[in-house]
Structures are given as structure tokens and as C-alpha cells.
Structure 1
Amino acid sequence: MKIKNVALAATSLAAALVLSACGSGDSPGTAAGAPPVPSSAASPGSQQVSAEHNAADIAFVQGMIPHHRQAVEMAKLADDRAGDGVKDLATRIEQAQGPEIEQMRGFLTAWGAPESGPMSSMPGMESGAMGGMQGMMSGQEMAQLGQASGAEFDRMFLQMMTAHHEGAVQMARTELSAGVNPQAKALAQQIIDAQQAEITEMRGLLG
């Protein structure tokens, strides 16, 4: 009887070891039956660009990129030419529009569209000289701004940037009415909200 009991005990122990080995294949820290975590999960804060878009979305982004770039160029001129109030405004413009340029470039990459396109693809974006195109300054106007300083620079900057912002707001409103991409339209609304507030601020600085 003792031999039979020992044999049964050995068999039970072997079975327990087999079951234990089968369970050890689970990943450390993963509870049995827990749903797997997708390896392709997006990192916090990342946002994939929606593929949904139309010609108006592309035209908006292609037009707004050079528009923003000129605003940043104008803002940089204020560094050593403007008074404190205008310099502070210019810094905020540069900090806001620089990242928006990169965001819009990401839109075009996701859509497989080039960074530049026919300027006539959006109302008011006629081909030809940049001056007058949705509030953008001509090369001559930019040169004049670059030669000014002090109170003269402040006045010219505020007048030019007000017109520039008004053009951007018009472009953004066109995107809201004609575009379909949710992220491009959200950016358009962001531009309207920010630049309308800055227009009010600039008019106050002009007196």
C-alpha cells in the first residue's frame, strides 16, 4: 500500500508541474484573460491626420503656409527695431504661427499633396505678385519695413500685420465653408479666434 500511495503522489506532483509550466508562457505582469495591448497603439498626445480632404482643404493649407511664413518673417524684424509692446506681440505671433506651419506641412504629407500649388485654387489667391494676396506684403513693402525702426517701425508693422491678419481670417473662413477635413477646419477656426483677437490688440496699439 505504501508503494502505491507514493506512486500516486508522484503522479500528482508531475501533473502539477506540467500545469505550472503551461501557465508560465504569459507575459510578466499580464493577468490571465486580460485583453492584449496593441503594439501599434499611438503614443499619448499623437494624432493621426485624417485622410478625408478635398481641393479646398489643400488650397487652404498651400496658401496659408507662405502666408504664415511671411508673418513670421515680419515678426522677426521686430526683434531689434520695435518698442516693447510691438515686440511682445511679434514674439507671440512667431511662437503661434511657427508650429502651425509644421502642422500644415504634416497635413500635405498625409494627403500626398505638394507644398505649393496654383495660387488661383482658393478665392482671393490669384497668381502674380505676393503683395495684395490675402493681405500679404509685397517685396517692396517688406524692404520698407526692414529699413524702419522705433515708432515708425511700430506703426508700419501694426498696419501691415493688421491687413495680413485680415487676409488670414478671410482664408480661414473660406476653409470653414468649403473644406471637409476636420483638423484643417479646426486649425482654420483657431486662426480666426487668435488673429481676430490680435487685430483688436493691434488697433488698440495704433490708437
Structure 2
Amino acid sequence: MKAARGAAASLLLPLLLVTGLTSCSASAGPEPASRPSAVPASGGTPAPSGDPTDSAWVQLMIPMDEQAVSLLALAAKKATDPQLRSWATGLRTAQDAELTALRGLRDRMGLPATDVHAGHNMPGMVTAEDLAQAGTAEGAPFDRFLVVQIRDHLRQSAQVSRSEITAGSRTDAKERAKALVTAREGQLAVMDALAGNGS
């Protein structure tokens, strides 16, 4: 099922980002009458507002990273391959830093801190079921599960971010998406090298 989800995602994610995710975001509730990003408290020049694609991207990337961090935290304790465990620890640190930047962007855009995708099994998202399975897996099966789930996370978050670069309008969001894609390319290259060594 996970493999089928990943295959479909390569075709659907660009459309989901522009259409489906924006409607999903809208279903979370009405937007406040005034957005913090529109008029700063200092009374200075209004910040450029993001379009629905920018908002959808930020609101998806944050929970994607948060769920991946939860799995990577397990990997620091359970991965049996030393190289894989070390890599997972480094990736968790990178994802934590990425989350800090994404949350700052979300706050500048005046978006709510709530997870508008809670309960949605989006492509590339480490789900609650995935985390439960990881919690019971041991040894080499855990290592293999980790590689599959994190590779899916890295690939799909890069795909979504490429859509943001193409379809988004807010400069700082697009720059953050570009940085994320560059990071993912490096992370995937290292992961593939580890997997090729038997991880």
C-alpha cells in the first residue's frame, strides 16, 4: 500500500498542492479577519502575503517533518546498522533546523500553528500507523522499514517543494523550498549510498 501511495504521489502531488491541499486547509475553519502577516504590529510596511499554494506548502511541510523526526528519534535507539543510526541522528538534527525555519515562515505568513492535515495520510507522511509499526519492529526489519519510510518522506517532500518553487508566489517561501530541495538531494544521495552498502 505504501509503494502504491508513493507511485501515485509522483503524478498527483503537484495538483494536490495547488488545488486539493488548499481546500483541505480551508476546511480547517474560517481565516481570522486580520492576518498578522498583513500588518505588522510595528505599523511598518505590510509583509507580502502568500497565495494558497505558499500556505498549503508550509502547512504540509511542517507536519511531514515533525512525523519524520519522530521516526528518526526511534532510529537513534533502534537502528542496528551503526552507519544508518549515525546518519539518522544527523538527519534528525537537520530536520529540526528545517522545522525551525518553516515555523518561522509560517508565523511570518500569519498561519495558525495547528496541524490542518492531522489525520490525513498524505503521500510521504510518516503516519501514526507507521510509527506504531516502527515501535514493534526490531533488528534488520526495523532498519529496512526506516529506509523505506524516510526515503519516501525525502522524495515526496522534495516533489512538493518543487511544486512550490514553480507555483508559489511568496519569495521567502520559494527560497525556503529551494533550500529544502537542495538538502533533500544530498540526503537522498547519502541514504542511497548507505542502502547500497547493505543498510
TM over 0.5: yes
Change (3 A) 1:157 1:117: closer
CA RMSD of aligned residues (A): 2.1
Query: Offset of 1:116 from its aligned partner?
Result: 4.1
Q: Structure 2: give runs of 5+ residues left out of the alignment.
A: 1-45
Q: Structure 1: give runs of 5+ residues left out of the alignment.
A: 1-48, 120-126
Query: Offset of 1:51 from its aligned partner?
Result: 3.0
Q: In the TM superposition, what are the counterparts of 1:182-201 in structure 2 within 5 Å?
A: 182-201=171-190
Query: Offset of 1:198 from its aligned partner?
Result: 1.7
Change (3 A) 1:71 1:117: closer
Q: In the TM superposition, what are the counterparts of 1:130-145 in structure 2 within 5 Å?
A: 130=121, 133-145=122-134
Mapped to 2, the partners of 1:179 and 1:141 lie a distance apart of 30
Q: Size of the alignment, in residue pairs?
A: 150
Asked if 1:76 is matched to 2:73, the reply is: yes
Mapped to 1, the partners of 2:181 and 2:78 lie a distance apart of 27
Mapped to 2, the partners of 1:118 and 1:177 lie a distance apart of 23
Mapped to 2, the partners of 1:112 and 1:206 lie a distance apart of 40
1:54-86: CA deviation from partner (whole Å, max 9, x where unpaired): 211111111100000011111100111112111
What's the secondary structure of 2:123's corresponding residue?
helix
Mapped to 2, the partners of 1:52 and 1:140 lie a distance apart of 36
**In percent, how many aligned pairs have the same letter?**
32
What's the secondary structure of 1:134's corresponding residue?
coil
Of 53, 57, 60, which aligns to 1:60? 57
Q: In structure 2, what is the equivalent of residue 167 of structure 1?
A: 156
Q: Does structure 1 retain, via aligned residues, the 8 Å contact 2:63–2:115?
A: no
Q: In structure 1, what is the equivalent of residue 6 of structure 2?
A: none
Of 143, 146, 149, which aligns to 1:157? 146
Mapped to 2, the partners of 1:69 and 1:50 lie a distance apart of 27
Q: After TM superposition, where is structure 1 displaced by more than 6 Å over at least 4 residues in a row?
A: none
Query: Offset of 1:150 from its aligned partner?
Result: 2.6
Q: Does structure 2 retain, via aligned residues, the 8 Å contact 1:51–1:110?
A: no
Query: Offset of 1:99 from its aligned partner?
Result: 2.0
Q: In structure 2, what is the equivalent of residue 4 of structure 1?
A: none
Q: In the TM superposition, what are the counterparts of 1:109-120 in structure 2 within 5 Å?
A: 109-116=107-114, 119=117
Q: Does structure 2 retain, via aligned residues, the 8 Å contact 1:50–1:181?
A: no
Q: In structure 2, what is the equivalent of residue 96 of structure 1?
A: 94
Of 82, 85, 110, which aligns to 2:83? 85
